[in-house]
A and B are shown apart, each in its own frame.
Chain A
């Protein structure tokens, strides 16, 4: 496995932490101005280009998780 500086991992952790914190704030209804992730996705999916972008994101994620670097189990 490639060695990366710990800072790179910390940045990823901070980004995901911020995402969940933002969603938590939206769900808590403390601030009515913060839309939830679901509301944001609904707003994006009203338009064809938004649906294409989200579908492309889903496809890209699935391609990386399930297809790239995948081998048959019994392949030598």
Chain B
């Protein structure tokens, strides 16, 4: 493989994904900071009203239903967001070889399916232990 081809492959396979990922992460952080500055936190006060209304203020304390809604909302939102990013990447930047999209859909769903019951069991055990003290 020539130097030009190697450079092209390097840009396409390494530099571009890294740059896109970096830009996405920085954009998310910047958006978070902007929102944080608009709503300054008062020391000693709990999370913002927006966060409390959404259940981020300690969902366990508000009951299992709220916890399940909170976790399910995060999992579904994160899953859909990742699928949008991966599909955009696949069709817009580089069509990765193999069953990339299929593996993304099934593999990520498998991970959520495996981790959610474990998370629920661990939370239940933790709450049970806390209640017995």
Determine which of A52, A66, A68 lies in contact with B78 in the assembled complex, contact meaning CB atoms within 8 Å.
Answer: A52
Size range of the chain B interface in the assembly: 35 or more
A interface, over-half SS? helix
Q: B82, A43: Cβ atoms under 8 Å? A: no
**Shortest Cβ distance from residue B113 to the other chain A in the assembled complex, whole angstroms:** 12
Say whether A45 faces chain B, with CB atoms less than 8 Å apart: yes
Q: CA of A8 to CA of B85 in the docked complex: distance in angstroms?
A: 24
Interface of chain A residues 11 through 43 with chain B (CB within 8 A): 40, 43
Q: A4, B14: Cβ atoms under 8 Å? A: yes
Q: B77, A68: Cβ atoms under 8 Å? A: no
Stretch at the interface among B60-68, B101-109, B122-130: B101-109
Determine which of A49, A57, A59 lies in contact with B111 in the assembled complex, contact meaning CB atoms within 8 Å.
Answer: A59
A63-B108 in contact given A43-B36, A50-B28, A56-B82 (Cβ < 8 Å): yes
**Shortest Cβ distance from residue A10 to the other chain B in the assembled complex, whole angstroms:** 13
Q: B77, A52: Cβ atoms under 8 Å? A: yes
Interface of chain B residues 86 through 133 with chain A (CB within 8 A): 86, 103-104, 107-108, 110-112, 115
Say whether A47 faces chain B, with CB atoms less than 8 Å apart: yes
Task: Give the number of chain A interface residues (Cβ < 8 Å).
Answer: 27
Q: A47, B111: Cβ atoms under 8 Å? A: no
Q: A68, B107: Cβ atoms under 8 Å? A: yes
CB-CB < 8 A to B48: which residues of A? 46
**Shortest Cβ distance from residue B119 to the other chain A in the assembled complex, whole angstroms:** 12
CB-CB < 8 A to B111: which residues of A? 59, 62-63, 66-67
**Shortest Cβ distance from residue B114 to the other chain A in the assembled complex, whole angstroms:** 9
Q: B78, A48: Cβ atoms under 8 Å? A: no
